Amino acid sequence: MTYVEMTAPDQLKPAAPVPGLVLKPLHRNSPLVVDIQARIGAPYGWRSASRTSEEWLAWFAEAPDRTFWLPSFEGEPAGIISYDLHPGGEVEIETFGLLPEFVGRGLGGFALTLGIQRAWELTSSVNRVWLHTSTLDHPHALPNYHRRGFRTFRTEAGERQGARTVGTGETAP
């Protein structure tokens, strides 16, 4: 696992804008939340790709304040970003990923830029935005995070197949 962080909004190094790519709020009860996370995670063996209905209920219950945003490209859902607010003004980007049909189309850098900007705007007291990734994620994930201005603050040896690895991390029961 690799953990990365930003401690000030001016650390963001935005990617070039992609016309047609926007970030829209997504209600946590939308069926798109489960569908998109499962589809994003399938190529990487993420837990979200095989979670049962009961496991999804537990995942939602563990973070009742988790918020979801939908990167949309030319009106089509292109991925998902979720945020967990933590004490002390910390925002964890709990999930970040693009649907397989949108990977490799030059959208990831700007989608992440939009997601980071939103993270800094979630509350008036945000002083840190962080996430984690693993080698089970897309091979461009960590380089994209570093290009956007995140710095690595911790690494852990070994990967846990099927646990805590949805894009940037998702807790599996």
Maximal CA-CA distance, the chain: 41
- How far is Cα 12 from Cα 140, in angstroms, rounded to an integer? 18
* pLDDT at site 161: 46
The token pair at 131 is 């996430």
Alpha-helix residue ranges (DSSP H) falling in the chain: 31-41, 53-61, 108-121, 141-147
pLDDT of 166 over the 70 cut: no
The dotted CATH code for 2-155 is: 3.40.630.30
| Domain range summary for the chain, segments of one domain joined by + | 2-155
Q: Mean per-residue pLDDT for 28-48?
A: 90
Q: Mean per-residue pLDDT for 19-27?
A: 97
What is this structure's pTM?
A: 0.88
pLDDT of 141 over the 70 cut: yes
* pLDDT at site 130: 97
